[in-house]
Structure 1
Amino acid sequence: MGAGLAGQRVRIGGWVKTGREQGKGAFAFLEVNDGSCPGNLQVIVEADVYKLSDVVSTGTCIHVEGELHLPPEGVKQKIELKVKKVFDVGTVDAGKYPLPKTKLTLEFLRDVMHLRPRTNTISAVARIRNALAYATHTFFQKHGFLYVHTPIITTSDCEGAGEMFQVTTIISEAEKIEKELKENPLPSETDVAAAELDVKEKGEVITQLKSSKASKEKITAAVTELTKAKEHLSKLNERLKLAERCRVSGGIPKKDGKIDYSEDFFARQAFLTVSGQLQVETYACALSSVYTFGPTFRAENSHTSRHLAEFWMVEPEIAFANIEDDMNCAEAYVRFLCQWLLDNCYDDMEFMTKFIDKTAIQRLVMVANSKFHRITYTEAVAILEEAAKVRKFENKVEWGIDLASEHERYLTEEKFKAPVIVYNYPKAIKAFYMKVNEDNKTVAAMDVLVPKVGELVGGSQREENYEVLRDRILELGLPLEPYEWYLDLRRYGTVKHSGFGLGFERMILFATGMENIRDVIPFPRYPGRADL
């Protein structure tokens, strides 16, 4: 690669991966990378062009111009750059730089979040993540889907799980009030009495002016003075009320013993979204095929290698589509993503295969070329019960359970050795919006299971019948009021529709073979950590 460019004069910028002085300090070899690919460019800097000790340290940033040459035969480089001119150098104190040349653990890199993109592994993951995002938009745009930006702040809980981050200004407002009351003394009873007397006297002045048929200008001026007096009295009373609130409830507004959210920023409880699905359905019920792709949040106190508090979801929604259409779309999308990486990100996938997971490329090839096996939940349980006779599962297998990761991985990695779609799950373990099947025991839900991660996609046909949906909301103990708008979609011109969600970080785990989800998102948020 690059040998055909020999003889060209080019300008490059990048960061030094390794550097060493040679020829008794006459020149230096630098391995430079600009983040565009896993490969480095060998750069030769001579001592009479620039001070070598300032450019050889790992992490140094250089911006230079030079001529590309073919290196001597027998070396691994195909091309090298001989520097003629140095524009800029961002030096590094090698003794203090947190990323030395030695191999660093991914756990250590989480403590230097702002520098870890400079490492080979994290930069490769970043390029793979970018490729998968590009592939996502390409797939849906190519198939006529409209990209909809759904809100991050919401008032409805899509999952009904209640594990949501609350968005409120009540606490900061209470702190402001407390600070203000400390800095400015409260009005005394005398102050309030004087203000009340002032209002009374100014009111009497207006009465006198009117009875003496004074000019309009005089009456208007007196009314203005009365208004000011009333505002002053109102402020004093408001401060007394706030002081009482601080004394009783620390400044938090309350009504009937509960927090009064009518005084909050949105005049009601609000949360960070757990899914854009419900909102994007409003557009599917008007524009047919749509998708949303954005961050979602779960306040789940989980410390596993598979959970984040903030993660990204790809959520298409398709009008006039049943569960089979949904499965077809999910299968085509996952296969497209795998093929896209093989076609457009192969050098990074080779890096991941060499250093992270020897089966990464093989796994992508297998999924890209496989027909996904489709089995009902009942069939899946039967297969797992049979397997449990000869092997031990940590989680008991019986009809009605939510399949655990070990069950999902057994089905895809051992039983079928290919991607699997499980559909028609028990109604009791699924969300309220899923289409209830004719047996009234199962819903038209489906999960796509793949090797390495288990569940990659979860989706369903949505319940389009108003009465059934309303009953499901009540059955699960959810309040109707926040979902009235959602029920409206069934009241007015209801349409059969389906959709699914793909956990974007899970797709990256599957593709790269990385073990911890905290290493495939640029800025991981999890219990106890929200750096940068």
Structure 2
Amino acid sequence: MDKCLFFPTINRENIMSVVPVADVLQGRVAVDSEVTVRGWVRTRRDSKAGISFLAVYDGSCFDPVQAVINNSLPNYNEDVLRLTTGCSVIVTGKVVASPGQGQQFEIQASNVEVAGWVEDPDTYPMAAKRHSIEYLREVAHLRPRTNLIGAVARVRHTLAQALHRFFNEQGFFWVSTPLITASDTEGAGEMFRVSTLDLENLPRNDQGKVDFDKDFFGKESFLTVSGQLNGETYACALSKIYTFGPTFRAENSNTSRHLAEFWMLEPEVAFANLNDIAGLAEAMLKYVFKAVLEERADDMKFFAERVDKDAVSRLERFIEADFAQVDYTDAVTILENCGKKFENPVYWGVDLSSEHERYLAEEHFKAPVVVKNYPKDIKAFYMRLNEDGKTVAAMDVLAPGIGEIIGGSQREERLDVLDERMLEMGLNKEDYWWYRDLRRYGTVPHSGFGLGFERLIAYVTGVQNVRDVIPFPRTPRNASF
């Protein structure tokens, strides 16, 4: 039988002695216990008394653990004194109370094994110094080793787990929707095409157009812009579902708020109206914000100290706030009469820009805001037409400090109205035959929303650019790694 790859140098009987750095620092390991930690060297400091101090991190928490190494170790001169930032080590020793400031516990090392050396410390891209965020994007394969990106990764994980917990506790089912689709959910046409056709020898039909009948799927296919339409099919059978996965937009936007590939969370609820889904959005956001403050206090402390001093207090205020609600028409009136000059003009019929959204949340209501009932001409075909014939049952949740964080709507459940909206928007209803079937066989009112996961992480951490909250950002002219 092959050896266990996860524990290549440790006997089976000693596996339980391997502990995360977080367990040592947070007091989950008894003092005087013999433990092994495995990780990477952040720094090494040597004293004149022949003692070296290694800061070893393994990513399980923000801080490294200090390993105190005496020069009596057999490989002290040969190995320990050669260790530099980035080297990987396996340290065994006794957990003791730390006499120094900064941490309660440290490890008195009895054995230090070097698992991997940094070939040239002078050219190591992640040397122990401060790096610009722009530089870190160029070395995305190594940037998780920095304090910033490591903290972002742990917060991202915690938020994702909290979202799954929230919906599971609320009786939702997670549905895996396809990444390859023939449907444009938003009707905007900004989609990445999926094809196996030879670009240098494209087949043509009688009209001289590309013959997609010869393609892998036998028709034009794309990367999905949303899992919503597929999600609705399961909501109309399981009542409460959510999707959570990557989505793609071929939008040529080089801004701090846009990615070509990003993650979306999209719940769909049968028999729910717009007010129901607005209440769900509020409960969900408060749940995950509480979770990240409780479970990632060390990382949130770092963000408050080094990235955005309001990072923690902003979430605390959000959790305690009562959401304001306002109709789009009333919101436009507020903006027109506020006396503030906006860069983008505001009038009825225009989509609200970020500056409008932030004014409403930060200056007028001073709280999270749900804006409802938008003009139909600026919203998607699937949103339910209101009785006035001019607006749809759509909503945006606006958060102080960022603006829109969630967008949702009650879905149009009436087949004749849906068909008319598709006609108005130039969509071929035959392409959506299966979506229309939901309205033909036991149709029900239903609602849902979409949450851009990277924007949520940016809001929580205070990191200004969504390229820095996703492991490998995909943007125009950039698909490295």
Q: Please confirm whether the aligned pair reaches a TM-score higher than 0.5, indicating the same fold.
A: yes
* In structure 1, C-alpha distance between the alignment counterparts of 2:105 and 2:479, rounded to whole Å: 42
- 1:128-181 Cα offsets, whole Å, 9 max, x none, are 00000001000101011010000000000000000000000013xx55xxxxxx
Contact 2:98–2:104, Cα closer than 8 Å, also in 1:
yes
Identity %: 54
Matched to 1:265, the amino acid is: F
* Aligned 8 A contact 2:79 2:114 in 1: no
SS at 2:123 equivalent: coil
Note if contact 2:381-2:418 (Cα within 8 Å) is conserved in structure 1. yes
Q: Match of 2:448, as an amino acid?
A: G
Corresponding position of 1:531: 480
Deviations 1:229-270 (A, max 9, x none): xxxxxxxxxxxxxxxxxxxxx343443110000000000000
Q: Does 1:318 align with 2:343?
A: no
Amino acid at match of 2:103: Q
TM-fit CA distance, 1:54: 5.6
Is 2:117 the counterpart of 1:117? no
Shift of 1:2: 4.8
Matched, 1:127 2:78: no
Q: Which amino acid aligns with 2:313?
A: Q
Counterpart contact for 1:55–1:89, Cα < 8 Å: no
Q: 2:45 aligns with which of 5, 17, 20?
A: 20
Cα distance 1:23–1:52, how it changes in 2: closer, same or farther (>3 A)? Answer: farther
Indicate whether 1:36 and 2:60 are aligned. Answer: yes
Q: Which amino acid aligns with 2:102?
A: K
Alignment correspondent of 1:98? 125
CA distance in 2, matches of 1:17, 1:411: 44
Relative to structure 1, the CA distance from residue 473 to residue 88 in structure 2 (aligned partners, 3 Å threshold; closer, same or farther) is same
**Which of 136, 145, 150 in structure 1 is aligned with 2:172?**
145
CA contact (8 A) 2:354 2:403 kept: yes
User: Is residue 2:105 matched to residue 1:67?
Assistant: no
The alpha-carbon deviation at position 492 of structure 1 amounts to 1.0
| 1:506 matched residue in structure 2 | 455
Please state whether the residue corresponding to 2:121 is helix, strand or coil.
coil
2:344 to 375, 395, 410: 395
Matching residue within 411, 414, 433 for 1:465: 414
Write the deviation string for residues 458-499 of structure 1: whole angstroms up to 9, x where unpaired: 000000000000110011011112111111100111111000
2-structure distance, mates of 1:392, 1:443 = 28
Q: Is 1:479 equivalent to 2:428 in the alignment?
A: yes
Q: In terms of mean alpha carbon deviation, does 497-506 or 254-263 score higher?
A: 254-263
Distance in 2, matches of 1:322 and 1:290, equals 15
3-state SS in 2 of match to 1:482: helix
2:103 alignment partner in structure 1: 77
Structure 1 residue 418: deviation in Å? 1.0
CA contact (8 A) 1:55 1:62 kept: no
Which one of 266, 279, 283 corresponds to residue 230 of structure 2?
279
Alignment of 1:78-227 (within 5 A): 78-92=104-118, 93-171=120-198
Cα offset for 1:52?
4.4
Q: Secondary structure at the match of 1:382?
A: helix
Q: Closer, same or farther in 2 for the Cα pair 1:54/1:254, shift >3 Å?
A: farther
Distance in 2 separating the partners of 1:531 and 1:83: 40
1:83 partner letter:
A
Secondary structure at the aligned position of 1:449 is classed as strand
2:469 aligns to what?
520
Secondary structure at 1:170 match in 2: coil
Matched letter for residue 53 of structure 2: F
Q: 1:448 aligns with which of 397, 414, 421?
A: 397
Using the TM superposition, give the Cα deviation of residue 28 of structure 1 relative to its aligned residue in structure 2, in angstroms.
1.5
Please list every run of at least 4 consecutive aligned residues from structure 1 whose deviation after the TM superposition is greater than 4 angstroms: 1-4, 52-55
CA contact (8 A) 1:253 1:263 kept: no
Kept after mapping to 2: 8 A contact 1:352/1:512: yes
C-alpha separation between the residues in 2 aligned to 1:513 and 1:523? 19
Between the aligned partners of 2:206 and 2:150, the Cα distance in structure 1 is 52
Greater helix share, structure number: 1
What amino acid is the match of 1:124?
A
Matched, 1:268 2:219: yes
- TM-score, structure 2 normalization: 0.92
- The gaps in structure 2 that reach 5 residues or longer are 1-24
Per the normalisation by structure 1, the TM-score is: 0.83
What RMSD over aligned residues (CA atoms) do the two structures have, in Å?
1.4
Contact 1:166 1:269 in 2 (8 A): yes
CA distance in 2, matches of 1:132, 1:70: 33
Name the SS for the 1:5 alignment partner: coil
CA deviation string 1:186-230 (max 9, x = no partner): xxxxxxxxxxxxxxxxxxxxxxxxxxxxxxxxxxxxxxxxxxxxx
Q: Is the 2:406–2:449 contact (alpha carbons within 8 Å) kept by the matching residues of 1?
A: yes
Aligned residues: 452
Counterpart-to-counterpart distance in 2, 1:290 and 1:256: 43
Contact conserved, 1:290 with 1:318, CA < 8 A, in 2? yes
Partner of 1:211: none
What are structure 1's unaligned runs of at least 5 residues? 176-249
